[in-house]
């Protein structure tokens, strides 16, 4: 049975020569096969949990679905694991009537690792073709202080990281319902940073629809091309990362009108594109 965390015995060694046996909690990592209409589309390594949102968010990033209305049914395909229990590692998504199935050439016949989400199928050209949201029209304005607070707010809500120290996180922040500021509406954790984002996107697709005007996607790691791609396709105008962006991420963000923030460590940050959305002084 798929588990979010697992306990293992470890031997802890110190420079002073101390040796101690103790229990450690590890982040779960298991394969998830995503099927579309019963046909295998991709296999990714993920931390179990929020698998339906992960599958739909992933398919959204691949251009297979554009709204929750494109999904007719989603469920697990029964199987028995090596432990004799039901296996929850296959999710099948049935598309709504009239929604075209994915191009067979896009199917991934190899495993997608937990650190790679694009793996040969995506490009800037594909983002141009499948993007439905004009981020340039999003007039969001964000106070610098609110952006700087996001990494700490994300970290404070990371329950799995607290137990394992071994997962990435993505959080969706939207304009406050009562006055200025940003509200955290969805946080997901996973061994794969792209999986954490797919889980957030799948949730947003189901609960809020898209685009997401004024929203910020805060991630715990670096800002790669794939994360900019996923944010842009979801209509999220701002992506903020704790670490550095790649050159291709900056290029794509600039092209699609997304505000890209890197090295957001709570005291300072770098704005690589879309700086007009960040207000240094309070409005």
> Does the active-site annotation cover 119?
no
Strand 90-95 relative to strand 259-262, pairing: unpaired
69 vs 155: CA distance, rounded Å = 33
Please provide residue 32's backbone torsions phi and psi, each rounded to the nearest 5 degrees: -125, 120
177: phi > 0 → left, psi -120 to 50 → alpha, else beta; which?
alpha
DSSP 239: E
Using DSSP's 3-state secondary structure scheme, residue 90 falls into: strand
Is residue 41 within 8 Å of 108, Cβ to Cβ?
Answer: yes
Q: Which of 214, 222, 279 is nearest to 250 (CA)?
A: 222
Q: Which residue among 25, 26, 106, 116 is the active-site one? A: 116
Residues involved in catalysis: 116
């Amino acid at each position: 049975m798929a588990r979010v965390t697992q306990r293992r015995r470890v031997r802890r060694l110190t420079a002073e020569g101390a040796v101690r046996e103790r229990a450690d909690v590890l982040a779960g990592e298991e394969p998830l096969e995503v099927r579309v209409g019963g046909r295998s589309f991709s296999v990714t390594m993920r931390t179990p949990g929020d698998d339906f949102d992960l599958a739909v968010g992933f398919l959204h990033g691949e251009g297979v679905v554009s709204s929750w209305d494109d999904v007719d049914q989603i469920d697990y395909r029964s199987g028995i694991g090596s432990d004799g229990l039901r296996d929850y590692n296959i999710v099948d998504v049935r598309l709504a009537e009239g929604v075209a199935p994915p191009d067979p050439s896009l199917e991934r016949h190899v495993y997608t690792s937990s650190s790679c989400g694009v793996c040969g199928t995506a490009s800037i050209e594909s983002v141009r073709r499948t993007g439905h949201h004009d981020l340039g029209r999003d007039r969001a304005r964000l106070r610098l202080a609110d952006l700087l607070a996001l990494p700490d707010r994300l970290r404070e809500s990371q329950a799995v990281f607290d137990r394992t120290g071994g997962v990435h996180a993505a959080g969706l922040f939207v304009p406050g319902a009562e006055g200025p500021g940003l509200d955290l509406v969805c946080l997901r954790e996973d061994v794969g940073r792209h999986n954490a984002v797919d889980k957030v996107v799948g949730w947003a697709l189901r609960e809020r629809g898209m685009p997401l005007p004024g929203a910020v996607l805060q991630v715990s790691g670096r800002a790669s091309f794939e994360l900019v791609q996923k944010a842009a396709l979801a209509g999220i105008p701002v992506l903020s990362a704790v670490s550095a962006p790649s050159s291709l991420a900056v290029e794509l963000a600039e092209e699609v009108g997304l505000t890209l923030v890197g090295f957001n460590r709570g005291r300072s940050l770098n704005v690589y594109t879309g700086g007009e959305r960040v207000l240094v002084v309070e409005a």
